Amino acid sequence: MSREQFDAMMPYITDHLAAMIAQRQNVSETDAVTRLYDSQLYALLEQEDTKVAVQHGDALFTL
């Protein structure tokens, strides 16, 4: 996947994960986004070479 494709996917991935965090942890969307951005998972997502971004949302949530 090219860097351009990777960068285009990230907003969709983070939106999906934030919604999952909000629902499963019963927190606001804002808190969910903060938790995601502060997580080890997000650090891995930002690194294209880890290929974490190509995992299904449910699988990512378990990381």
- Of residues 59 and 9, the one with the higher pLDDT is 9
CA–CA dist 47, 10 (Å, integer): 11
Beta strand segments in 1-63, E: none
Q: How many CB atoms lie within 10 A of CB 25?
A: 10
Q: Name the pLDDT band for 53 (thresholds 50, 70, 90).
A: low
What pLDDT, on the 0 to 100 scale, is given for residue 43? 87
**Within 1-63, where are the H helices?**
3-25, 29-37, 40-45, 57-61
Question: pLDDT per residue over 22-46, tens digit each?
Answer: 999 999 999 999 999 999 888 888 7
Mean pLDDT along residues 8-14:
85
| C-alpha Rg value of the chain to the nearest Å | 11
Is this model's pTM higher than 0.75 or not?
A: no
Domain segments of the chain as ranges: 3-61
